[in-house]
Chains A and B, each alone.
Chain A
Amino acid sequence: MDKNTFIVMVAVLAMQALASCATCSRTQQDDFVVPDSVRNVSATISESVIKEVVDNISSPIETAALFKSLNVPFAQKYLATTKNLSDYHTACAKAFNLGIFGADLGYINMYGKVSLVSVNIIAMKSLADGLNIGQFFNYTTLKHLSDNNENIDSLIYISQQSFNKMDRYLRQSGRGNLSIVMVTGVWVEAMYLSCQFYKDRPNARLAESIVEQKLLLAELLNMLQVYKGQKEVADLIGELTAIEATFEPVEMLVQDGNLEEIESDGALRVVQHDATIVKYTPEQLAAVISAIENVRNKLIK
């Protein structure tokens, strides 16, 4: 093999490696026992699946959609202040507050309050740059969409996609701890907003959506436990454990039901008839709300 042939081979291999890396990290292949209805084969889903990173643990979209469906008016006063940005020195503080602002952005977007988007995305860009993930935050497009008061759905799409890309990159680049911390920030802020609106206008549906978070908080804590050796994560676990303690008396029971498939005009809708029964007292709910407020207000300082 002469030198030129060797150089060409190295270059070709490098090209292949680069090209494959464009997608390799977003592809999961394994020999997991697949419940594949395509072949009409049922199988058991391993517990380990649930122990993986779970998407959509904290989604501000569903939370804000619930507020809107209950005719809860928009309240700017509950949004996190951006004045403390310069106080977030550590990567953990930056990630947590990026999550806080991410939840606020989802809420702002869902209410179409585009005039508030700019302040929020400037803060998010600053924190994202501080974590070296600013390249995934599509600031320019978000700024353009908000400045021009354009389609709200596009604003939600770009916001959500930017957030997902930052989250995925953190996981892929060996910073899964910051990913979970960021998701925790989103969860805390969405809960905080729910609690404030419940206090303003007590409502059974909103109350239930708050106490049902017991399940999701337990999973968040599970994911954080992986990084409990890191002091800041351990501190965060401590804060969330205080919240978890207030959830402890809340009972959640599930009654299994059938699935109903409804096909109309070629579209399929599956209706789940399981029922979740949540038992809690007003005092227990008040304790949860108080714990959420304490933790959120402490961690955004």
Chain B
Amino acid sequence: MKKVLFLGMIFSLALVAQSVKAQTETQRIDLCVKAAGDVKFLYDYPTQLAAAAVGEKAPVFRQAIALRKGNRYRFTICTDEESAGEGVLQVFDENKPVGSSFNPETGREYQSFDFDCQKTAFYVMFISFKDGKEGSAVGILSHVKTL
């Protein structure tokens, strides 16, 4: 009987831990939505990636997104405080990069960047971490205005 109670307690603790973790994720998303500014929220992308294994490509999160002509969209990335790697959000139109939160040539980082879309199409968003480090971040897609 004691063992059953003990196991029950352990499972209860696990459920509480899960709840706290989920709550934390919600809070991180809320903060990133606020960081996006005065925009209309569309999607959130909480992302957690492991470090790249030696000799392997860095893991990425990817998501295909439909964007419509005549709209300004904002992409925002918020790296978690405890994350080892800095989150980078990139958007591609087929194989052509159309925006990134990090410019490797200048070293400039942007928490958000806007994209004035003039072609209704399927774009692909990637979230990765610099130097293939382990990391966690939240990406946000939002709508700024009709152009």
Contacts and interface: CB of A to CB of B under 8 A. Distances in A.
Given A22-B22, A215-B120, A27 B47 contact: yes
Contacts of B33: 157
Contacts of B60: 28-30, 32, 34, 36
Interface in B66-107: 66-72, 88, 90, 92-95, 97-100, 102-105
A35 B59 contact: no
A96 B120 CA distance: 24
B64 A52 contact: yes
B7 A7 contact: yes
A56 B118 contact: no
B17 interface: yes
Interface string B99-117: 1101111001010111111
A254 B66 contact: no
A3 B7 CA distance: 13
A274 B68 contact: no
B99 A274 contact: no
Interface in B1-59: 3, 6-7, 10-11, 13-15, 17-18, 21-22, 25, 29, 33, 38, 40-50, 56-59
Interface in A7-28: 7, 10-12, 14-15, 18-19, 21-23, 26-28
A27 B49 contact: yes
Given A27-B49, A39-B104, A268-B114, A65 B145 contact: yes
B41 A11 contact: no
A106 to B, nearest CB: 9
B17 A19 contact: yes
Nearest to A215: B120
Interface stretch (A43-51, A112-120, A121-129, A174-182): A43-51
Interface string A237-273: 0000000000000000010010100000011111111
A61 B42 contact: yes
A54 B64 CA distance: 5
A7 B6 contact: yes
B105 to A, nearest CB: 8
Q: Interface centre among B7, B42, B94, B126, by most A CB within 10 Å?
A: B42
Given A11-B10, A26-B46, A275 B146 contact: no
Interface residues of B, number: 80
Contacts of B121: 215, 254
B72 to A, nearest CB: 8
Q: Interface centre among A57, A59, A209, by most B CB within 10 Å?
A: A59
A56 B42 contact: yes
B122 A23 contact: no
Interface in A150-164: 153, 156-157, 160-161, 164
Given A23-B48, A39-B104, A56-B42, A267 B114 contact: yes
A238 B42 CA distance: 30
Which 9 A-B pairs have CB atoms at the shortest separation, nearest pair first?
A11-B10, A15-B14, A29-B59, A69-B146, A268-B113, A269-B114, A274-B119, A54-B64, A271-B116
Interface of B: 3, 6-7, 10-11, 13-15, 17-18, 21-22, 25, 29, 33, 38, 40-50, 56-72, 88, 90, 92-95, 97-100, 102-105, 108, 110, 112-122, 124, 126, 128, 130-131, 141, 143, 145-146
21 contacts: A14-B10, A29-B60, A30-B59, A33-B57, A34-B58, A35-B126, A36-B128, A40-B105, A50-B122, A54-B66, A56-B67, A65-B146, A68-B146, A156-B40, A160-B42, A209-B70, A212-B68, A267-B110, A269-B72, A272-B118, A272-B119
